[in-house]
């Protein structure tokens, strides 16, 4: 029997991992199945651009995995049973099914964190998924001149979303509500550059402002201050799906899966995790942030560990480093803030038009890499060892 590898999620982490597993393991021994609710590959780093009105192509996953040997199931994951080694799914036609696995890679990502704030679910928009970004896109398209948009959240997503909307729609009144100081986590020069970009684009900033409720045409801040907002865009963090915790996998307080250094679940050795869903400790001793960069290193580590254990080799170590934050400030401006070994901002950063071209290259490279999972296909793939105990994973054939 073939060893069944099931990958949950086809975002940056899941799609990269599935392609690499199929590329590096023998199809005579291993069967790789990807389960994803959306039939297309979604470049999450570009969803704020899509929401603001840019034309973004979403490539079908059938094309992404064509010729790779990866099996695609377009379905929503409803449950994981790590004791029985099964995944329950619901397909688009409403049909339920169960998929058995020998090795599971959990990469279901995250969604917008509502933080229990009243009115967010009913009235706010977000850019955490393709459907929600499309909903915002349609709302902005129907918003007349002088309409008011409030972006809540001063993190990477908030800054990128506010500047993209303001640049694409200069006829709108765009504001951002920050719980602290705008760009407080950046170096002084990078912080000043972000502020100049906000001034250039006419974005009003409400610093030290905590939004406690969202209504149809306004947001209510602590103290009762009302902020006009025909459209409120919620970017105040991300949250993982409670599915992992409900399944009985060991999780952190955030709901992210607890893993060892190889991205293997500390409670269930045939389960690995990558991307936003994993609680991974970086080289600086702190949990890696939810980001595309973290998805890259965690999926590489998980993939390397799965391949090594199935083929009886020593598990290699991938550096779990976080090098910095690349922040778009509209189409023609950006900041790249480097961080040190403690994940603190370094004194220098890259800024301006050249940095925006660098960010565009990063986005292009990420999309191209996922769309070409068979690139560099070795002439001879690694065979799974015949002794399960040697592989260290149940079901090796």
Gap between the Cα atoms of 117 and 180, Å rounded: 18
Phi, psi of 270 (to 5 degrees): -95, 10
For 271-294, what is the mean pLDDT? Answer: 90
pLDDT of 210 = 96
pLDDT of 381 higher than 70:
no
pLDDT of 355 higher than 80:
no
Gap between the Cα atoms of 378 and 25, Å rounded: 10
pLDDT of 367 = 62
pLDDT of 352 higher than 90:
no
Residue 383 pLDDT class (50, 70, 90 cuts) = confident
Q: Which tokens hold the place of 292?
A: 């595309």
Kindly report which listed range (42-56, 59-73, 306-320, 322-336) carries the lowest average pLDDT score.
322-336
Distances (CA, A) of 249 to 22, 32, 79, 217, 256: 26, 22, 12, 41, 10
Residue in the block written with tokens 């565009």 = 360
Percent of the chain past pLDDT 90, that is, above it, reads 69
Gap between the Cα atoms of 137 and 54, Å rounded: 9
Residue 209 pLDDT class (50, 70, 90 cuts) = very high
State the helix-helix crossing angle for 353-371 and 12-24, rounded to 10 degrees. 50
pLDDT of 344 = 72
Q: Tell me the average pLDDT of the chain.
A: 89
- pLDDT, tens digit (0-9, with 9 covering 90-100), for 77-126: 999 999 999 999 999 777 899 999 999 999 999 999 988 999 999 999 99
CATH code given to domain 112-234: 3.50.50.60
Cβ atoms of residues 358 and 326 within 8 Å: yes
What's 44's DSSP letter? G
Cβ atoms of residues 116 and 124 within 8 Å: no
Give the 3-state secondary structure of residue 280. coil
Gap between the Cα atoms of 154 and 356, Å rounded: 20
- The model's pTM is 0.89
pLDDT of 104 = 98
Burial tier of 67 (Cβ tally within 10 Å: 0-12, 13-18, 19+)? exposed
Could you tell me the sign of the dihedral formed by the alpha carbons of 298, 301, 303, 309, in that order? negative
Burial tier of 26 (Cβ tally within 10 Å: 0-12, 13-18, 19+)? middle
Q: Between the ranges 133-137, 340-344, 372-376, where is the mean pLDDT highest?
A: 133-137
Give the 3-state secondary structure of residue 193. helix
State the helix-helix crossing angle for 188-201 and 156-168, rounded to 10 degrees. 30
CATH 3.50.50.60 fits 3-109+241-325+360-391, yes or no: yes
Name residues whose C-beta falls within 8 Å of residue 381's C-beta, 6 or more positions apart in sequence.
23, 24, 25, 26, 27
pLDDT of 187 = 86
For 243-267, what is the mean pLDDT? Answer: 97
Q: Which tokens hold the place of 215?
A: 């209504």
Domain boundaries, the chain: 3-109+241-325+360-391, 112-234
Domains 3-109+241-325+360-391 and 112-234 share a fold: yes
Gap between the Cα atoms of 22 and 5, Å rounded: 10
CA dihedral 61, 63, 68, 71 (to 10 degrees): 40
Instruction: Mark residue 223 as left, alpha or beta (left: phi above 0; alpha: psi -120 to 50; beta: remaining).
Output: left
Gap between the Cα atoms of 120 and 214, Å rounded: 6
């Amino acid at each position: 029997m073939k060893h069944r590898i099931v990958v949950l999620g086809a975002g940056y982490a899941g799609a990269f991992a599935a392609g690499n597993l199929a590329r590096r393991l023998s199809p005579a021994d291993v069967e790789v199945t990807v389960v994803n609710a959306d039939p297309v590959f979604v470049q999450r780093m570009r969803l704020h651009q899509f929401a603001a009105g840019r034309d973004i192509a979403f490539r079908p996953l059938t094309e992404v995995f064509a010729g790779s040997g990866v099996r695609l199931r377009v379905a929503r994951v409803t449950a994981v049973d790590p004791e029985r080694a099964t995944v329950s799914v619901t397909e688009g036609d409403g049909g339920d099914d169960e998929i058995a696995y020998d090795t599971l890679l959990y990469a279901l990502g995250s969604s917008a964190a509502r933080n229990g704030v009243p009115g967010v679910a009913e009235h706010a928009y977000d850019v955490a998924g393709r459907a929600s970004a499309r909903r915002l896109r349609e709302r902005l398209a129907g918003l007349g001149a002088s309409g008011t948009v409030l972006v809540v959240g001063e993190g990477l997503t908030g800054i990128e979303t506010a500047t993209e909307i303001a640049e694409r729609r200069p006829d709108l009144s765009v504001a951002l509500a920050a719980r602290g100081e705008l760009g407080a986590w950046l170096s002084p020069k990078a912080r000043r550059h972000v502020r100049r970009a906000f001034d250039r684009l006419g974005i009003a900033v409400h610093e030290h402002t905590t939004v406690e409720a969202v209504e149809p045409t306004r947001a209510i801040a602590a103290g009762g201050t009302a902020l006009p907002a025909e459209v409120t865009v919620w970017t105040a963090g991300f949250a993982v799906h409670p599915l992992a915790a409900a399944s009985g996998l060991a999780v952190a307080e955030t709901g992210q899966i607890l893993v060892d250094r190889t991205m293997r679940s500390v409670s269930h050795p045939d389960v690995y995790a990558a991307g936003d869903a994993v609680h991974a400790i970086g080289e600086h001793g702190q949990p890696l942030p939810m980001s595309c960069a973290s998805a890259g290193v965690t999926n590489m580590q998980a993939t390397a560990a799965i391949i090594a254990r199935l083929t009886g080799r020593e598990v290699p170590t991938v550096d779990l480093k976080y090098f910095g934050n690349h922040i778009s400030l509209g189409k023609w401006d950006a900041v790249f803030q480097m961080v040190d070994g403690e994940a603190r901002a370094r004194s220098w950063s890259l800024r301006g038009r050249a940095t925006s071209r660098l960010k565009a290259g990063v986005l292009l490279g990420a999309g191209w890499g996922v769309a070409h999972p068979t690139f560099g296909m070795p002439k001879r793939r690694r065979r799974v060892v015949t002794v399960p105990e040697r592989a260290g994973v149940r079901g090796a054939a």
